[in-house]
Amino acid sequence: MPTISGATWPDIPERFTPAKMDFGTRKIMNLDSLYSELTIKTGAKLALLVMDGLGDIAANGSDSCTPLEAAKTPNLDALTQTSAQGRMIPVAPGITPGSGPGHLALFGYDPLEFQVGRGVIEALGLGVELKAGDVCARANFATLNPKGIVTDRRAGRIATEVCEKLCAKLSAKVKKIGDVQVIIKPGKEHRFVVVFRGKGLEGPLTDADPNREGLPIPTVSPRDPKSAAQKKTAKLIADFYKEALPILAKEKPANGFLMRGIAHQPEIPTFEERYQLKPACLAVYPMYKGLAQLVGMDKIEGPQNIREQFERYVAEYDNYDFFFIHYKYTDKYGEDGNFEAKKKAIEEFDAALPILLEKKPDVLAITGDHYTPCAMKGHSWHPQPVLLTSAYSGSDKLERFTETGANMGSLGVFEAKFLMRQMQANAKMFDKFGA
């Protein structure tokens, strides 16, 4: 049987990169290393605008449309006159990404190589200073029936003030489990974070979240059954539930909670190291601030809506080379299955866009991190549309930025992890490769 570097063909993963290939004495350069060698600092300004969960699917019928197609978007439409469009595969064909992998891919990190627990991201976004060995979980307050079945995974999206009160109640009564410190910090609405700080802990674990209503809270288990540290952490989570659930038992509607993304913080090269760009994040929700902080972006605090985010971008324009601006509501209303609200959210984004265009960056990309179809009320695997404009992007001469239009764009279909490289190329940040 033929071999590559001593490995038989069945031993070679179906999805491999040049970094893992070695034909005899001829080694193929790691692609990221090549990009780094070719990178030139040009002083260009780049901006990535992420309309979370932007993509959608039209209902059956020739006259049906998506929220993006139905929305009135004169400013996005005007941008298409100087833009290229395409579609991006968030992780791999058929794989539905969480927000973490979806955004890491947009930042240029292979989400299969850099797997980050959602709890770590959320904890960082909420300003928790993590220590080596800390295990973090992202949590949702939820509603349970008398038999312990989840009837509402988000407890009716309780107000942030209610979440803060419940977290304070839990924090006052569950400070430690054995020799492990428990840190509980509220987020927005029904979301909060739990950090376990002690010796011999490790993730990742499976989720204590059935991911849909009508099922009980599952017991967590180690991802690696041979890991003693993961087994210890799984028992710790079970003990935490035993202590915390009775404290919430009489609360309405938040009488329970779900936990997912249970993991510890991995080592990741910084965004500035990879791209020679000083980056900033303008996001409202903690999780996306955490994602940005994970790769070394500066968090710009204060703005609470898209107009304020764009205004702050203009004010900070001279201080950074790269801006990540996140907009949540397209995803939120997609998860609610609310077509009209998602359409209006897109229109609100579009109406605010001229503020950013007062100081249009040299390279501007507008996309989503994944689809959140209203019909599915959740994330999906579909390749998301992307619009890219610069002095060198060319124009696809498309009238609008839509899922259908993006299918005809010159960018074609590519993996989301290459978007940053496309943006760098449009900023003329790469020297020529070879003679």
Chain centre to alpha carbon of residue 397 = 30
DSSP string over 182-245: EEEEE-STTEEEEEEE-TT----B--B--SSTTSBPPPP-BSSTT-HHHHHHHHHHHHHHHHHH
Please answer whether residues 208 and 259 qualify as being in contact, where contact means their C-beta atoms are separated by less than 8 angstroms. Answer: yes
* Burial of 410: CB neighbours in 10 Å, binned 0-12, 13-18, 19+: middle
Beta bridge mates, 185: 193
Spell out the residues 6+ positions from residue 296 whose beta carbon is closer than 8 angstroms to its own.
Answer: 270, 271, 272, 273, 279
**pLDDT value, residue 61:** 52
Architecture, CATH, for domain 46-115+268-426: 3-Layer(aba) Sandwich (3.40)
Digit-by-digit pLDDT tens for the chain (435 residues) are 443 334 333 343 444 344 444 434 344 568 989 999 999 999 999 999 999 999 999 875 546 899 999 999 999 999 999 999 999 999 999 999 988 899 999 999 999 988 777 788 888 878 888 887 899 999 999 999 999 999 999 999 999 999 999 999 999 999 999 999 999 999 989 999 999 999 999 889 999 999 899 999 999 999 999 999 999 999 999 999 999 999 999 999 999 999 999 998 777 889 999 999 999 999 998 889 888 988 999 999 999 999 999 999 999 999 999 999 999 999 999 999 999 999 999 999 999 999 999 999 999 999 999 999 999 999 999 999 999 999 999 999 999 999 999 999 999 999 999 999 999 999 999 999 987
Helix axes of 99-106 and 118-125: crossing angle, nearest 10 degrees: 70
Nearest 5°: the CA angle 420, 421, 422 is: 90
Beta bridge mates, 84: 388
Q: Taking the alpha carbons of 258, 264, 265, 267 in that order, is the dihedral positive or negative?
A: negative
* Burial of 194: CB neighbours in 10 Å, binned 0-12, 13-18, 19+: buried
Spell out the residues 6+ positions from residue 82 whose beta carbon is closer than 8 angstroms to its own.
Answer: 389, 393, 395
> Nearest CA to 52 among 417, 342, 435?
342
**pLDDT value, residue 29:** 60
DSSP string over 308-320: HHHHHHHHHGGG-
Please answer whether residues 232 and 240 qualify as being in contact, where contact means their C-beta atoms are separated by less than 8 angstroms. Answer: no
Helix (H) or strand (E) holding 88: strand 83-89
Q: Name the residue ranges covered by the structural domains of the chain.
A: 46-115+268-426, 120-264
**pLDDT value, residue 121:** 80
Helix axes of 306-316 and 339-357: crossing angle, nearest 10 degrees: 20
**pLDDT value, residue 16:** 38
**pLDDT value, residue 13:** 41
**pLDDT value, residue 60:** 59
